[in-house]
Amino acid sequence: MAKHHVTTTLNGSPVEYLCEPHHTLLDVLRDDLNLTGTKEGCGSGDCGACSVMLDGRLVCACLTFAAECNGRTIETIEGMANGTKLHPLQQKFLEHAALQCGICTPGMLISAKALLEKKPDPTEEEVRYWLAGNLCRCTGYNKIVEAVLDAAAELRRA
């Protein structure tokens, strides 16, 4: 079967790739484009480690066909910092020790950023429900929630 030729805007740059029709965006990001910051924890939508933004929407890269992304905009963890300047969420995750092993961190950050773009002043409960699709087995979520709330406060000040 012929491969699909897909043109996207990936982290702000034009990126083209060829993909098998059954390969997911996660496969292409990790195996073909070497963007391994997006993680695979389950491949079935359950863990959120593969969270990316597709046309401004938070989705699981593992549940998106790469072929679907033609003409679309994709944002991954690799595009989150502005050059050498970390996004406030990244900075707060570090300061709050909101990562232990760190495998959930890229997905958490993408997900949290999507939240704060919609809701700059979330409650703890809103943060918890929004992040429910991002599993973390290490932290018990305390410090992640604290970091997100703190980053939200900082972004509101900015």
Partner 1 sequence: MANDVKFPERELKVIGTSPVRPDGVPKVTGRAQYGADWTLPGMLWAKVLRSPHAHARIRSIDTSAAEALPGVKAVVTGKDFPEQKFDYVGPERVAINFWHFTRNVMAKEKALFDGHPVAAVAAATKDIADEALKLIKVDYEVLPHVIDVDEAMRPDAPLLFEDMKTRGVTPEPTTPSNISKKIEFKLGDLDAGFKMADEIVEMSYKTKPVHQGYIEPQSTLARYDTDGQAEMWSSSQGHFVMRTFTAKLLGMRVADLRVHAAEIGGGFGGKTICYVEPIAVLLSKKAGHPVKLMTTREEVFRATGPTSGASMTIKIGATKDGKIVAAQGIYKYQAGAFPGSPVMNACMCGFAPYDIPNAHAVGYDVVCNRPKAVAYRAPGSPISAFAVESTLDALASKLGLDPIDFRLKNIARPGTQMLSGGKLAHAGFAETLQALQKHPAYKSKLGKNQGRGVACGYWFNGGGESSATVHVNEDGTVVVSTGSPDIGGSRASMALMAAETLGIDYESVRPIIADTNSVGYTQATGGSRVTFATGMTVINACNKVVDELCARAAKIWKIDRADVIWENGHARPAGGRAGEFEPMSLKAIAAKRAATGGPITVSASVNAEGQAPGFSAQFADVEVDTDTGHVKILRYVAAQDVGRAIHPAYVEGQIHGGVVQGIGWALNEEYIYDKNGHLENPGFLDYRIPVCSDVPMIEAIIVEVPNPVHPYGVKGVAEANIVPPMAAIANAIDKATGTRLTDLPMSPPKVLAALDAG
Partner 2 sequence: MRYEAPTTTEGAVALLAAANGTAKVLAGGTDLIVQMRSGRLAPDLVVDLKRIPALTSIAAENGGYRVGAAKACMELVEHEAFVRDCPGITDAVKLIGSIQVKGRASMGGNLCNASPAADSTPALIAARVTARVVGPNGSRDVPVQEIAIGPGKTSLGKGEILESFLLPKRAARSGDAYLRFTPRTEMDIAVVSAAVNLTLDEGGVCRDACVSLGAVAERALVVPEAAAALIGTKVDEVALKALAAAASAACRPIDDKRGTKAYRTKVAGVLARRAAEIALNRAKGTN
Contacts of 156 (CB under 8 A, 6+ apart): 120, 121
Residue 45: alpha-carbon gap to chain centroid: 13
Which one of residues 10, 35, 48, 79 is an interface residue with partner 2 (CB under 8 A)? 48
Which one of residues 42, 63, 153, 155 is an interface residue with partner 1 (CB under 8 A)? 42
- Our CA angle for 34, 130, 95, nearest 5°, is 65
CB 80 within 8 A of CB 113: yes
Count of residues engaged in binding partner 1, rule: CB under 8 A: 59
Q: Counting contacts by CB under 8 A, is residue 46 touching partner 2?
A: yes
Q: Binding partner of residue 65 among partner 1, partner 2, ligand FAD, none, CB under 5 to 8 Å per kind?
A: partner 2
Residue 64: alpha-carbon gap to chain centroid: 14
Residues that bind partner 1 (CB under 8 A): 20, 27, 30-31, 34-44, 46-47, 49, 76-78, 80-81, 86, 90, 93-97, 99-106, 109, 124-125, 127-129, 131-145
